[in-house]
Amino acid sequence: MIVLGIETSCDETGVALYDTSAWENGAPASQGILGQALHSQIAMHRDYGGVVPELASRDHIRRVLPLLDQALAQAAMQLSDIEAVAFTQGPGLAGALLVGSAFAKSLAQGLQIASIGVHHLEGHLLSPLLGASAPTFPFIALLVSGGHTQLMLVSGVGKYELLGETLDDAAGEAFDKTAKLLGLDYPGGAAISKLAEQGTPGRFELPKPMLHSGDLDFSFSGLKTAVLNQVKKFEEKKIVDPKEIQQFHADLARGFVDSLVGVLVSKSEKALQQTGCKHLVLAGGVGANSQLRAALNEKSKKGRFEVHYPPLDLCTDNGVMIAFAGALRMLADNNGSTTSGAFDIKPRWDLASNNLP
């Protein structure tokens, strides 16, 4: 089955074509990726310091058709080769989701094929199956994106249990807000990570919120406030030497990354211990973070669990993960998940509420 995937939940328009025969034949799942095209709106939103929902929706409208043409050309296919359309139904920005939903449903109706609404996080958490070392079920998924920070127990496709989540800021949000405090452009996750590489470990010992809370929940807003307090203290000193300012920023970025990564790694280990799972999957935009990957690799070397990553280019939002998740869901429940003609979207949507029986 050839599945078209459409992602428009936030600031990336992603379109991809996935052929399920690789998966069905037990070949590496990545072989099913036939074509993919992506447009990131980051440059457009940068001037505003964050995503402007109305601009995002309008840009998705502009991009989605040319991207579909691009993906089809890459796959050497035509519209008539598509057998099902998967689209991000939620969670995300309502207007942005509506563009993908309307586009997918209209196309499906026109082609007389099925459409399926996919949970954005399901896309992220199944994407490590497309990586070089794919996990086996059950596994723990650490989902760290701009909007979510969750630990999930994944027993199979469509079988998810939420173990813990952030009570306030998401990990990516904490990265982006901290980046702003350090004068870096939006979204600042990757830039903070790079800056932290030049930082002195231990100059700033920032709090590790909820490290010993006894549960698997997170909280990152206090960490951001701790960064703000250090910035204010530094500004009071009225230092003008650019080198000293640069070093301060790098050291503070290092303190921030070390704290945040410390909490994420510790809670992931706890989730593995509590469930007895031997596989951890890292997914979502923050999953591209090199310090987090290094820390998890280090822990897993001690032998008690294996870590699995999506291919680096599939960490942040993309159409492939939506085509893939939609395809696996359709295979898992014999197309029972396919949706009606209504343009229904779910801007707020709990993943476990969408479990398969």
The site map against ligand KG4 for 183-212 (x = CB under 6 A) is ----xxxx--x-------------------
In the 3-class helix/strand/coil scheme, how is 207-258 assigned residue by residue?
Answer: CCCCCCCCCCCECCHHHHHHHHHHHHHHHHCCCCCHHHHHHHHHHHHHHHHH
If one asks whether residue 284 binds ligand KG4 (CB under 6 A), the answer comes out as yes
| Only segment of 215-223, 268-276, 316-324, 328-336 that touches Zn ion (CB under 5 A) | 316-324
> Which of 10, 82, 96, 151 is in the footprint of ligand KG4 by CB under 6 A?
10
The site map against ligand KG4 for 162-181 (x = CB under 6 A) is ----------x--xx-----
Q: What are residue 15's DSSP bridge partners?
A: 6, 37
Taking the chain, what is the end-to-end CA distance rounded to the nearest angstrom? Answer: 23
**202 Ramachandran zone, left/alpha/beta (phi>0; psi -120 to 50):** left
The site map against ligand KG4 for 286-315 (x = CB under 6 A) is x-xx--------------------------
User: Measured from the CB atom, is 172 or 199 closer to Zn ion?
Assistant: 172
Cβ neighbours of residue 89 under 8 Å, at least 6 residues apart? 97, 101, 117, 118, 119, 339, 344, 345, 346, 349
The site map against ligand KG4 for 19-48 (x = CB under 6 A) is ------------------------------
Quick one: which of 114, 124, 163 has its CA closest to 12? 124
User: Measured from the CB atom, is 75 or 98 closer to ligand KG4?
Assistant: 98
CB of 201 to ligand KG4, least distance (A): 17
Interaction partner, residue 193 (ligand KG4, Zn ion, none; CB < 5-8 Å by kind): ligand KG4
Interaction partner, residue 117 (Zn ion, ligand KG4, none; CB < 5-8 Å by kind): none
CB of 210 to ligand KG4, least distance (A): 19
Contacting residues toward Zn ion, per CB under 5 A: 145, 317
